[in-house]
Amino acid sequence: MKNKRRLAAFSIVLLFTLAATLQGITIKIGTIAPERSPWGKALQELSRDWLRITQGKVELKLYPGEIAGNEDDMIRKVRMGILGGAALSNRGLKKIYNDIYVLNIPFAIRNDRELTQLLARLKPEFESGIEKNGFKVVIWSTSGWVNFFSKHPIHSPQDVRHLRISFVTGEPLLAQAWKEAGFRVIPNDLKDLMMALQSGMVDSFYLPPMLAASGQYFSQAPHMCDLQVAPLVGAIVIGDQFWKQIPGEFHASMMQRAREMSDKLYKDTIRLEQEALDTMVKHGLTIHHVEPEEVPAWEEAAEKGMKVLVGKAFSREIYEKFTAILREIREQNDGG
């Protein structure tokens, strides 16, 4: 009798599983990006393509513009099974796997070529770490760079040390690293940045140009230093429990389409970043160029904060690997 009951129960579970497969899987994806942003549009296009590739079995349902909460909220909801996945910035990815934060070291990565080569070497390790924590990376994307904006011209670290820099709240280690490097940071939420600039509470900030333009923050800080502080690296991740529900026969084609989408997203971001810069210059922004011989002073200043970050914000092992790969890349590029 017990065996019959177990068989009946197993049959019911099997039927429900089969029915779910036949009806399809809806994966809810949260993002802080607005619906019409490059990220929002990419997610919409990916949803249509995955629906086609899986013959109607996998659909992405999008929750843009912080409808699903901030990145911390979204990660928690994926782990709880409320959301299926999320589009995350490097700050959000760090909450899943700390070592990704090595990419945020100020002035460590100099340009897109270095970033591309570095990511090609480190992505497998990052993806493995993320997957061990219950998430599948489906798209990587570089979303531009962060630059200093100020009420006064900036060329060297000395130009910044007397400034009050608006700094995102919730990052105490990075804030301490900036202080160790000799900079003055004022914790401040982005939603309060305009008021802080207008009141004189802060007189500088660092943000990607697209955000500086869209929020009109540059109007209060019309000087930009063209030395890039750090890249913005993001990813779309899906909870492992949801990825495993998708029939394996579709995985390769879905991931191939995601890689193509990543390339397109990168090109769109570069174009939009340049458009943002052109618009800001047209409306009063002055861009100050940092000469190559001035770059080492910035790197030396940032190095003073490394003792705060190494072994705490990210592991010593990834830091040593990161710096070794960068040296190798520069030797190869200089040799070429």
Does 131 score more than 90 pLDDT? yes
Can you read off the two tokens belonging to residue 1? 């009798």
Cβ-contact 323, 131 below 8 angstroms: no
Can you read off the two tokens belonging to residue 92? 């959000």
Cβ-contact 301, 157 below 8 angstroms: yes
At residue 267 the predicted structure's pLDDT band, cuts being 50, 70 and 90, is: confident
Cβ-contact 203, 167 below 8 angstroms: no
Neighbour count for residue 117 (Cβ, 10 Å): 18
Q: What is the mean pLDDT of the chain?
A: 89
- pTM of this prediction? 0.84
At residue 41 the predicted structure's pLDDT band, cuts being 50, 70 and 90, is: confident
Query: Which CATH superfamily includes the segment(s) 25-335?
Result: Bacterial extracellular solute-binding protein, family 7 (3.40.190.170)
Lowest mean pLDDT: which of 139-143, 164-168, 207-211, 284-288? 139-143
pLDDT at position 334: 74
Backbone angles phi, psi at 207, to 5 degrees: -150, 165
Cβ neighbours of residue 77 closer than 8 Å, sequence gap 6 or more: 30, 68, 69, 83
- The CA dihedral of 247, 100, 124, 39, to the nearest 10 degrees, is 50
Sign, CA dihedral 172-174-180-185, equals negative
Placement of tokens 């990161």 in the chain: 322
**Cα–Cα nearest to 232, from 214, 215, 210:** 210
Residue 248 burial (CB < 10 Å; 0-12/13-18/19+)?
exposed
Q: Which amino acid is at 296?
A: P
Q: Which residues pair with 234 in a beta bridge?
A: 141
CA angle 314, 316, 320 (to 5 degrees): 115
Residues 235-252 have pLDDT tens digits of 999 999 999 999 999 999
